[in-house]
Amino acid sequence: MRVEKSREGNLQRYECWDTFTVAGFAVVRIDECVQILDINVRREWRGRGVGSGLLAAILDDFGDRRITAEVFEERLPWYERSGFRRVGEKGPLVVVEFSPSLTRKGASGNP
C-alpha cells in the first residue's frame, strides 16, 4: 500500500493504492485550520488499515495545526483513538477536533 498526495488550491487529496487499485481516499481543505472533508475506503478494503493509514498521512502533514471533521457518531471512537476529541454537533454529525496543544498534554492535563 502506498499513499499518494495531490494538491489543487486549498484542497489536498490523499489516495491509498494497492498496485493498480485505489483502496481509499481522503480530501482535506487547508485554511486557518485543516478540515477533513472526506475519508472513504472501498468496501472490500474496510477493516484493513486503509482509513487509518490515510488519517495518519493527514496527521503527518498537518499534526502541528488544528484539524477538524464532521463525522457520524459511530465513527467517533475511531477518531478519538488518533487524538481527536468531540467539540460539538452539527445536525446529525459530531464535530471533532485535533489540536496539537491537546495532544502534547499528559493524562493529568499537564504539559
**Whether pLDDT at 94 is above 80:** yes
Q: pLDDT band for position 16 (50/70/90)?
A: very high
pLDDT tens digits for range 32-90: 999 999 999 999 999 999 999 999 999 999 999 999 999 999 999 999 999 999 999 99
The alpha-helical segments, DSSP class H, found in the chain are: 50-62, 76-80, 100-103
Q: What is the pLDDT of residue 77?
A: 97
Domains of the chain: 2-103 (3.40.630.30)
| Distance of alpha carbon 75 from alpha carbon 55, whole angstroms | 13
Q: Is the pTM here over 0.85, yes or no?
A: yes
**pLDDT greater than 50 at residue 92:** yes
